[in-house]
Structure 1
Amino acid sequence: MTSLDRIDRHMLTILQQNGRISTAELAETVGLSASPCARRLKRLEDEGYIDGYHATINKAKAGITMKFFVEISLSRHQVDSIQEFEHAVMDMEEVINCHIVSGGYDYLLEVVSRDLESYELFTRQLHRLENIKDIHTHLSIRQINDRSVVPVYA
């Protein structure tokens, strides 16, 4: 992989803010002509700096009214038990993020739900998993920041 220069970083920042921007508009914004901009964009995609393009969905309009952060502690930490848990969580559509974390628990899940009843059904799914020792839930009252644009340090 090549290192990123100022123009590459600027392109990545713009694309995070507007993934539907045309190559011509992107080129104009970063001060290039269309052909060199298109080549840079292709290189950034080929080298894996861009994982994909997607739409950001309005959660409320999609029927999601609640968000939870769920701390999970496992009872067993053997490879098979961990893989079984991780595969189960990846199949749960309510789990929009899952992190292995350090500290007092093993995983932190970000979970969305239509309502409390739907969340209860989700927790019943979790309780059916054999390897779970503890579940602690935190209800998000209000989101202060929803930053999807990340700084580009490379």
Structure 2
Amino acid sequence: MDLDKTDRAILMALQADGRATNASVAESVGLSETPCARRLKRLEADGYIEAYRAVLSRQALGLGLMAFTQVRFGVHSRELSDRFEREIQAIPRIVSCHNVSGSADYLLLVVARDLEDYGIFMRDVLRTLPGVTAVESMLSLGEVKRNAGLPLL
């Protein structure tokens, strides 16, 4: 389905504020509430909206360190990759994981309280995951842009 200008405006409004009421979204996109609600239900049913969630503060939660971690495998097999991917699903401090091309096999975004906490996590968890033979970390010195939502091209 192609998104029209109004659908895109609804999606942008919800990306900016996932708790926006139907009335406020309708007003911001120039619709009455009923047509806006119908469009919203259709956007949800068609899979454009996957979920609604709160964005939590890392600082308030005491997670001051963010690391981009490259993971390499020594042996590449489907079974090993599947085991690795299953295990990382259960590790909350791995915020995201991507299977990538290039010198690494996976790129993880990991949060920790501080450098010592991250070091312990590396030693006791990351390096013990199935297939992992090398781990390289890049520590974030400051977040310039936070996930602001997807562009609606």
TM-score by length of 2: 0.95
Amino acid at match of 2:36: C
Structure 2 counterparts to residues 4-153 of structure 1, below 5 A: 4-124=3-123, 125-153=125-153
CA distance in structure 2 between the aligned counterparts of 1:4 and 1:91, rounded to whole angstroms: 35
Secondary structure, in 3 states, of the residue corresponding to 2:121? helix
Q: 2:95 touches 2:109 (CA, 8 Å); kept in 1? A: yes
What runs of 5+ residues in structure 1 fail to find an aligned partner? none
TM-score by length of 1: 0.94
CA distance in structure 2 between the aligned counterparts of 1:6 and 1:92, rounded to whole angstroms: 39
What runs of 5+ residues in structure 2 fail to find an aligned partner? none
CA distance in structure 2 between the aligned counterparts of 1:128 and 1:37, rounded to whole angstroms: 50
Q: Which segments of structure 1 move beyond 2 Å, counting only runs of 4 or more?
A: none
Once the two structures are TM-superposed, the CA of residue 127 in structure 1 deviates from its matched residue by 1.6
Residue deviations 1:79-130, cap 9 Å, x none?
A: 1100011111111111001011111111110000011222122112112224
Amino acid at match of 2:6: I
Once the two structures are TM-superposed, the CA of residue 145 in structure 1 deviates from its matched residue by 1.0
Residue deviations 1:27-81, cap 9 Å, x none?
A: 1110111000000000000111001111111110011110001001111211110
Identity within the alignment, %: 39
Q: Which has the higher contact order (CA 8 A, sep 6+)?
A: 1
CA distance in structure 2 between the aligned counterparts of 1:126 and 1:25, rounded to whole angstroms: 45
CA distance in structure 2 between the aligned counterparts of 1:58 and 1:66, rounded to whole angstroms: 12
CA distance in structure 2 between the aligned counterparts of 1:22 and 1:56, rounded to whole angstroms: 18
* Count of matched residue pairs: 152
Q: 2:70 touches 2:104 (CA, 8 Å); kept in 1? A: yes
